[in-house]
Amino acid sequence: MGVRYKVKLRGGAVVVMSAALLVALTGCGDAGTPKSSPSTPAAKNGASSAPSAQPKPSGAQSSEPPTVVATSKGEAGIVLDVYSTARDTAGFVTVSGQIKNTGDKPFGNTAPWRGNELKASGVSMAGVTLVDKAGKKRYYVLRDTDGRCLCTTGVVIIEAGQSVPFFAQFPAPPATTSEVEFSFPTFASVTLKISG
């Protein structure tokens, strides 16, 4: 199984695809050679690395929490943590992180986060933008050929104490731009450094 696949999945599809991949991987291999444990990071993302001393439970990412590069507070105890703003070779910038409800009540005012493609993406976080102040340009979330945003969708209510991962993909500013302002409706804008 030397072929690697790179797929972005959302929501419950990750669980279904992980289970299907686990079943497929356990069927691969030689009868005479031991099979890789599907819970090791190397088996999950196809990368080669030394086996872990202690196997992690299925679905576990890392024992260390991601590094927060920027934080912004919103209304009613909602906090936005940004983990990365990464430029890739295909000409995109992806901002990822999480939104957590530190309040004691469910939060449901997610309508301002939506973009203007309500029919294609439904409830989304497509209202976020990047601003290149030096280049005097604003970047909007990318859409696919069907008009759906390349961002997190389906977040209607965030329960008290719940954290929701988010991502949004934008066209990349020029290579000379290393810093952008991230604007997420209902949160204060934050300055992000572009990596990559």
Alpha-carbon dihedral angle through residues 160, 117, 146, 19, given to the nearest 10 degrees: 0
**pTM, rounded to two decimals:** 0.66
How many CB atoms sit inside 10 A of residue 166's CB? 22
User: Domains plus CATH for the chain?
Assistant: 1-63 (no CATH), 70-193 (2.60.40)
User: Tens digit of pLDDT per residue, the chain (196 long)?
Assistant: 444 444 444 444 444 444 444 444 444 444 444 444 444 434 434 443 333 344 444 445 557 888 999 999 999 999 999 999 999 999 999 999 999 999 999 999 998 998 765 565 678 999 999 999 999 999 999 998 888 899 999 999 999 999 999 999 999 999 999 999 999 999 999 999 999 8
Cβ atoms of residues 120 and 147 within 8 Å? yes
Q: Give the whole-angstrom CA distance, residue 139 versus residue 39.
A: 38
- The whole-number pLDDT of residue 64 equals 81
pLDDT value, residue 118: 55
Please, which residues have CB within 8 angstroms of residue 97's CB and are 6 or more apart in sequence?
68, 80, 81, 82, 83, 84, 165, 166, 167
